[in-house]
Structure 1
């Protein structure tokens, strides 16, 4: 008996031009990670080139034809640090590290049920549920893993709250939003404060149930979103003063995603309610300097009616263009909408499945 195996065909990226070429001073473009539905192994990366106006879908397989299963299952975060691109792949339990200029594989770090990544100096910090992907009233506390970005090795770990999500770093301390999502209905409601020198929890701040997103303004305030319980307790954004490490208020704004640019906190909400079996959608802006809501809808031309399921959000720090990801129905390709700073649609493009997270790059990407 004899047999042979054919060569595995290379998956080619797809490119299209979505807008006119520009001459950026700082931001050359961005990478977008498409999560892919859980269990589908369809996490992909797209790239937008500001100089050419070109959008390229699914760049990873073409640059890494020898990587089995490509990026993996559920891309949960993306970030750029120095000359490297990092993607946190949740259900594949790894952080993929690439060259930011080429998207070629450099290495990966194995971390169970990893969620989000932040950086300080030559260290990366990754939040981890630290257990299997499943609802479990007895689910163990999560952890934050410290990685040496030069050697891509794990240096230390610290146990935090239950099912930790996004993080911010300021004043030598790491603030971690704990959700407790696996322990429904007994959600966590705390922010763990970790001293980076000792990598020990030095404080725990009681905030609200089911915490998720985190943003830091330039006035020393942290904004942390609560997803509520999807029944009687709604979503909101709470404010923590880092000087006192106490909650000093809430915004009265629901948020499933948020980002800060200068003194503007942009939020989108797709707030699901099991009571009404529907989503309540909003697009709000909060002025962090004046501490007031300045808009309940940053889309001003009616285009929000085209967006089925707003899922990701980003603002270009140079052009102030606003990007909204539409996950459509979670199982087919989504769309990325680019709005002017005034909230008018500039262009839109098809993405991969569940477009979610954007990292702006000051480095050129070589096609």
Structure 2
């Protein structure tokens, strides 16, 4: 396990660390977990690479193939490993393994009360025209047993919960690649019955879905990579509290993180026609639905990012981190910026850094 002094000054407080899940190139079995120590015991921050394998030497094949989501719920760390068809569960305090949940082609995880909800493509990777409908699996967070499931659209992605309803962004990614057309709906699941009770029409090829402080859901649409560009939409409650499409902002958003009324984003718009990738950054005010900044930083380091692949913002201090996948097959980078956009430090990560979660100090 490599210990790297980033040179950054630690901010002592509730947030004592951050786990970073590196996806690893598909088929290479190189998903890995890094840890950023923010406790400030010696006034600086330290970065540790590939800690999961070191702390769990008896785990066969370590994490596995393609890490797709990283979340902390209570005292446990949940790592969704897509192509290895499993969710690894470890102690949040030290990443020591507790067990795993076998879920086919799993994608994202979210939580409420005693249960975790995991989206799944169900079928094999790149199943093509014969892909089955996707599902959301309900998992008991204590026993790690699957207790229920619900079919949704094709290739479901990220989810969010409002009250007793779970909202799921359906992508139809495999269908789109085979010419059958992308999915364009958000499925609504009644958590009490685990039945799909509604579908909200949004846009083709949905991906990320996050809840803000105003009971709005923000969902990204990747488009078709040809004539329909990526964009971001919001869903809002009607007079009866039922979610409906509110509108959209003509802005490419590949990933996002919401803190207060600020939605921090980066967009990487790929064009199959022009064979180019256009990268943008900025902040959207979720209350006014306006892009209030078309930049996150003026530092030259941000323009050197080759392929942004993840973003996370400190909810207390609002300093932020960007993840650079570089060429996808070798070490990426994690870059830290101060709240005003000033570049602070960067460090090498595992392959394709993409998902992160802050570790909060346990309250006695």
TM-score (norm 2): 0.95
For residue 206 of structure 1, the aligned residue among 193, 201, 206 is 201
Q: CA deviation at 1:290?
A: 2.7
Contact 2:91–2:98 (CA<8 Å) still a contact in 1? Answer: yes
Number of aligned residues:
352
Shift of 1:138: 3.0
Report the counterpart of residue 301 of structure 1 in structure 2. Answer: 299
Partner in structure 2 of residue 44 of structure 1 = 32
For residues 338 and 189 of structure 1, what CA distance do their matches in structure 2 show?
Answer: 35
**1:21 Cα deviation from its structure 2 partner:** 4.6
Give, in angstroms, the shift of residue 229 of structure 1: 0.3
Q: Give deviations 1:320-356, integer Å, cap 9, x for gaps.
A: 1111000000001000010111111111000000000
Which has the larger displacement, 247-256 or 172-181? 247-256
Match of 2:146 in 1: 154
Q: Distance in 2 between matches of 1:277 and 1:200?
A: 42
1:58 paired with 2:56, answer no
**Deviation by residue 1:127-151 (Cα, 9 ceiling, x = unmatched):** 0000000151231110000000000
**In structure 2, how many angstroms separate the alpha carbons of the residues matched to 1:361 and 1:158?**
31
Alignment deviations for residues 41-61 of structure 1 (CA, whole Å, 9 cap, x no partner): 000000011123110000011
Offset at residue 62 of structure 1 (A): 1.0
Distance of 1:215 and 1:112 partners within structure 2: 23
Secondary structure of residue in 2 paired with 1:270: strand
Which string of whole-angstrom CA distances, capped at 9 and with x for unpartnered residues, describes residues 180-222 of structure 1? Answer: 0000131110000001111111110010000000111111111
Gaps of at least 5 residues in structure 1 are 1-12
Distance in 1 separating the partners of 2:361 and 2:119: 26
Evaluate the alpha carbon distance shift between residue 20 and residue 266 of structure 1 in structure 2; reply closer, same or farther with a 3 A threshold.
closer
Q: Please report the RMSD computed on the Cα atoms of aligned residues, expressed in angstroms.
A: 1.1
Q: Give the Cα–Cα distance (whole angstroms) in 1 for the partners of residues 302 and 2 of structure 2.
A: 27
Post-superposition CA distance 1:71-106 (Å, at most 9, x none): 000000000011111100000000000011121110
**Shift in Å, 1:302:** 2.8
Paired position in structure 2 for 1:170: 162
Aligned to 1:347: 345
Q: Which residue of 1 aligns with 2:223?
A: 228
Q: Greater shift after overlay, 293-302 or 96-105? A: 293-302
Residue 240 of structure 1 pairs with residue 235 of structure 2: yes
Call closer, same or farther: CA 1:353–1:244 in 2, change over 3 Å: same
SS at match of 2:291: strand
